[in-house]
Amino acid sequence: MNVVEEHPAFSTLIGTPKEVQVGLSKSHADRVLVLAFEQIKPTVFAALAENFTNVASSMFEVMAQRHDRESLERLVEVLVPRTPPLPRLLKEAAMLVQARNAVLESGDWLTAAEVAQLAGLSTRNPSAQPNKWKKQGLIFAISHNGADYFPGYGLDREANFRPLKAMAKVIEAFAGHKDGWGMAYWFRSDNSFLGGKRPQDLLATAPDRVIEAALDEIQEIAHG
């Protein structure tokens, strides 16, 4: 006599070879797993049959869950971008590169030798005086590829290309807050305190306003 244990995805046929053969003839299963016992007590056989059925059921559910998980993972991979978003650090680096390129390509920057030439300084050691001005806080410089570049707008054309006096006040205001590059960004950016004009465009003609704008900037930094 066949004993059939039904499961939504499989069935267990228990009985003699002939009984199981009859059951298989009516089955539409894709695959069949057969366990044949030469000699076994009916009670042991019944216990084994029940245990095998339970194990098969549990294993099938686990495998089905894994399959569902794999399907979910494939679906997520399709919906999520193929590559992770650009890390924040790389975004910041890209913005920094863009800002520095804008500064360098502005045409406002001079080497120490070029400053010395404009100011009529000694050609024997042309970088000596511009570097001395920088150390004294009379002018600032940006460092690029191992060389210092000085802002042309920080030189007074009316005073033989010496540093504008207002520049020292601005540098003093930004001490501890902005380095050379930071001041370069500030000088070339539109400034709301100056009515949307750039500090570098007013440094020579309206120095007091530029100094006030620098002090206002520091107040904003201090208050977050």
Q: Where are the domains of the chain?
A: 3-79, 88-222
Say how far apart CA 119 and CA 122 lie, in whole Å: 9
* 98 Cβ contact partners less than 8 Å away, ≥ 6 residues apart: none
Average pLDDT over residues 147-157: 96
Query: Which has the higher per-residue pLDDT, 122 or 96?
Result: 96
- Cα dihedral 198, 201, 205, 207, rounded to 10, equals 50
Judge whether residue 22 has pLDDT over 90: no
What's residue 18's pLDDT? Answer: 80
Judge whether residue 21 has pLDDT over 70: yes
Considering only 41-50, 79-88, 120-129, 215-224, which range has the smallest mean pLDDT? 79-88
Three-class secondary structure of residue 208 per DSSP: helix
Reading the block at residue 124, the tokens are 């024997």
What's residue 20's pLDDT? Answer: 74
- Adjacent-strand bridge partners of 6: 11
Say how far apart CA 136 and CA 177 lie, in whole Å: 17
Summarize pLDDT for 169-200 with one digit per residue, the tens.
999 999 999 999 999 999 999 999 999 999 99
